[in-house]
Amino acid sequence: MSKVYLVGAGPGDPKLITLRGIELLKTCDMVIYDRLASYELLNYLKDGCKKVFVGKEAGNHYKTQEEINKIIVESAYKYEKVVRLKGGDPFVFGRGGEEIEELNKHGIPFEVIPGVTSAISVPASVGIPVTHRGVSRSFHVITGHTKSSENTLTDNYEVLGKLDGTLVFLMGLSNLKNITDKLMENGKDKKTPAAVISNGTMNNEKTVRGTLSDIAVKVKEEGIKSPAIIVVGDTAAFNFTSIDTKPLSNVKIGITGTGVMYNKLESGLHRLGARVYSICNMKIEETPFIYQLEEELQRIDKYQWIIFTSQNAINIFFDKMEKYQVDRRKLNQIKFAVIGSGTKQTLQKYGYFADFMPNIYTTKNLADEFSKVVFKNEKVLIPRALRGSQELTMTFEDNNIEYKEIPIYDVKGELTENKEYISEMDCLVFLSASGVNAFFEEIHKNNIQLPNGIKIACIGEVTVNEVKENNYNADIIASISNIDGLIDKIKNYIWEK
């Protein structure tokens, strides 16, 4: 029977969602999400998962709550497992209760997966505790607007003005001046510490500190935008943050790559202190030529070699073997060639060890060195990307090597919601030539200019050449064409600067 899962996505940082939430994202058939859920969370979705955006923001509703309720109910009748992904926690001003009431009307089963609420986690991310011994023994979470109107304040400021604990206002940035005025009118000292945190827990997080009397002016001067949390009380003056001495501390790095590659690179760069953004998300799509792979798998034992030039090709190859029920014992007499350590490790996950890998992880070295070890009359299968380098096949032709090339997948990209931060980037990282093309096509389409002085990092020579084709030069080139090699180069280059 169909079931709807109301999943709290956390305050913004995709690592702050619960393990149960990730598990459901990986297995759901449909996800209904809003703008407060991090874009990166969608990378967990399986192929074919239906995505529906119902985001809302103050003054600009994309969908009304009634429309969202209707979408959830209709989706439950169409799909077996539906995830309603909500920023923060579903029940902390998330209107999760209203959605559950609608599900109950229709007798639709549901489950609530709690999330980390921004009311506590966002202040904590900038060193503000909502409680502290001897300073604040309670905290209160208040909506910055009421149900009746986006610009209507709650009517209990007479009570709020006399409370000793920490006040946390959600969704109240547009009402900041009214909120502070009302609190002062009702007894709060104008010198009471206050802070506003925009995009809390995210790479573009910004904090403005002041007092009740001047915080609204400071926020306006800084151009702070929603979503933002307002904290009022003595603890708002605290700054329990550690001095960061990591080599890439606060360096802003934008990445163009697939979800898997992005996650690997993001983890390594984040450990070094970098602020990492997914700028252009690349998706793997099978080509119309995939049927040729099925045909060749049925007679796979006629080949002596299979060459893999990417991890994507390996994953698709073995997925198709399973789908078409090809007995793996047919691979017993076949040798494998890979382009580098990343593809070598991916191949090992399927239980096979590479028989050949070039000394330098480039297509040219793969072609040149492999041509010296393959025997005459040995047949070679090359399942790879649609826009793979022709250097490989041209070298094989020059050396009379018999091969069958099948373009089994293509990589297409689109800019993420982080495109608005490109002007703030210190470095752009490209993990493939196709990613370079997609990125520059997208920024031209969106009339986005790269900032002066931005550095460009590439994982290999093919990617470097594609950057040059787009009239830019690569400043950072991985000496070893894998994620670890690229991280080392970025760290050393920026640390030296």
Question: Any idea where the domains of the chain sit in the sequence?
Answer: 3-116, 120-237, 243-497
pLDDT at residue 55 greater than cutoff 90: no
Q: How much is the pLDDT for 226?
A: 87
Specify the residue for token string 């202190």: 273
Q: How much is the pLDDT for 148?
A: 47
Task: Give percent of the chain above pLDDT 90.
Answer: 68
pLDDT, the chain, mean:
90
Q: What is the CA 136 to chain-centroid distance, rounded?
A: 36
Q: How much is the pLDDT for 203?
A: 79
Q: How much is the pLDDT for 79?
A: 96
In this prediction the pTM is 0.73
pLDDT at residue 38 greater than cutoff 90: no
Q: What is the CA 205 to chain-centroid distance, rounded?
A: 16
CATH 3.30.300.30 fits 120-237, yes or no: no
Specify the residue for token string 């990282």: 429
pLDDT at residue 379 greater than cutoff 70: yes
Distance between CA atoms of 367 and 399, rounded to whole angstroms? 10
DSSP secondary structure letter of residue 161:
T
Run of H or E including 179: helix 176-185
CA distance between the termini of the chain: 59
Residues catalogued as catalytic: 34, 56, 171
Nearest to 408 by CA among 284, 257, 281: 284
Q: How much is the pLDDT for 305?
A: 97
Distance between CA atoms of 399 and 474, rounded to whole angstroms? 32
Residues 6 or more apart whose Cβ sits within 8 Å of residue 100:
6, 110, 112
Mean pLDDT value of segment 15-27: 96
Task: Give the burial string for 7-21 (b: 16+ CB within 10 Å, else e).
Answer: bbbbbbbbebbbeeb
Strands 455-458 and 81-86, how do they pair? unpaired
Specify the residue for token string 């009339």: 447
In one-letter notation, the amino acid at residue 318 is F
Distance between CA atoms of 215 and 234, rounded to whole angstroms? 14
Strands 402-415 and 275-286, how do they pair? antiparallel
Q: What is the pLDDT of residues 115-133, one digit of tens each?
A: 999 999 999 999 999 999 9
Q: What is the pLDDT of residues 229-283, one digit of tens each?
A: 999 999 999 999 877 678 898 899 999 998 888 888 998 998 898 989 999 988 8
Mean pLDDT value of segment 192-196: 97
Q: How much is the pLDDT for 146?
A: 58
32-46, 185-199, 238-252, 376-390, range with the lowest pLDDT: 32-46
| 104: helix, strand or coil | helix
CATH 3.10.20.520 fits 243-497, yes or no: no
Strands 60-61 and 56-57, how do they pair? antiparallel
Q: How much is the pLDDT for 149?
A: 46
Nearest to 7 by CA among 87, 74, 77, 78: 87
Q: What is the pLDDT of residues 383-438, one digit of tens each?
A: 999 888 888 999 999 999 999 999 999 988 999 888 888 998 999 999 888 899 99
The domain 3-116: what is its CATH number?
3.40.1010.10
Q: How much is the pLDDT for 151?
A: 47
Q: Are the C-beta atoms of residues 169 and 188 closer than 8 Å to each other?
A: no
